[in-house]
Amino acid sequence: MIQEYLYKYKLNLVVLGDFNPAIFSPAWLALKKLIRPENMEDTQVHVIHGSFSLFRIGDWAEIKVNKETFQLTTAREDNFDLLKDLMVGIFTILKETPIRAFGINHNKYFTVPDENRYNKIENKLAPLGNWNEIFSDPKLMRLEILQLKRPDSNMGRISFSVSLPDEEMPKNTLKVFMNDRFDIDDKIKSTEKFLKIFEKSFKSSFEQFDGVIDSVWRKIN
């Protein structure tokens, strides 16, 4: 099973809309009772500014905001539900925020120690032999598949990719990524609709991601 090769699972929640980055800070989250006061001692503030804010809450959440994008990220799988609750809490308070779209972004990093096994996976995903007359040692860098119509009743799209990792990882690691994007078509009650779809789709997004990975794994083995 592919899960035996799992090295890291990172979740990234992204909201597209109109934001005021300066209001987002650990102090604001504590004031609104979205984090405990004791969490304030374990925060790392990089910048709080009118155009961009970036800070961390312990080792379980990073918040990054500019005027058009709000992001929550964690690399701790045991805190995925906490990240979801934080997202819901923030936008329940900021209920007048115009929202255009959101994404539930899954990042799994798989490390395959056996060189031959790793090369076979590369070749199954993208036949590298087709490039032997062009390059002396072709390698898979990025393969992306896009589904323009969602499988549910929501507006949006899904993209799935396999690529080299975007951060330092052990040798023979591949990043498997899925952008589960939802477009919000209600300009009057966009935040209300966002929260409704987000809460309803959160669990099924994980199931869909794992289903795609399992399906691809079966086909290349």
Number of domains in the chain: 1
Residue 45 lies in a domain: no
DSSP of 117-142: HHHHHHHHHS-GGGGTTT-SS----E
Is there a domain that residue 160 lies in?
Answer: yes
> For residue range 60-88, what is the model confidence (pLDDT) as tens digits?
999 999 999 999 999 999 999 999 999 99
Look at residue 200 and tell me if it is in a domain: yes
- Structural domain for 145, as ranges: 2-17+87-219
**Is the alpha carbon torsion for 69, 105, 54, 37 positive or negative?**
positive
User: Does residue 148 belong to any structural domain of this protein?
Assistant: yes
Query: Does 52 fall in a domain?
Result: no
Contacts of 212 by beta carbon, 8 Å cutoff, 6+ apart:
160, 178
pLDDT-flagged residues of the chain (< 50): none
Examine residue 40 and state whether it is found in any structural domain, yes or no.
Answer: no
Per the domain annotation, does 39 fall within a domain? no
Torsion of CA 166, 14, 85, 210, to 10 degrees: -60
Q: How far apart are CA 185 and CA 206, in angstroms?
A: 24
Q: What is the pLDDT of residue 41?
A: 81
In a domain, 212, yes or no: yes
pTM (2 decimals)? Answer: 0.94
Q: What is the pLDDT of residue 221?
A: 86
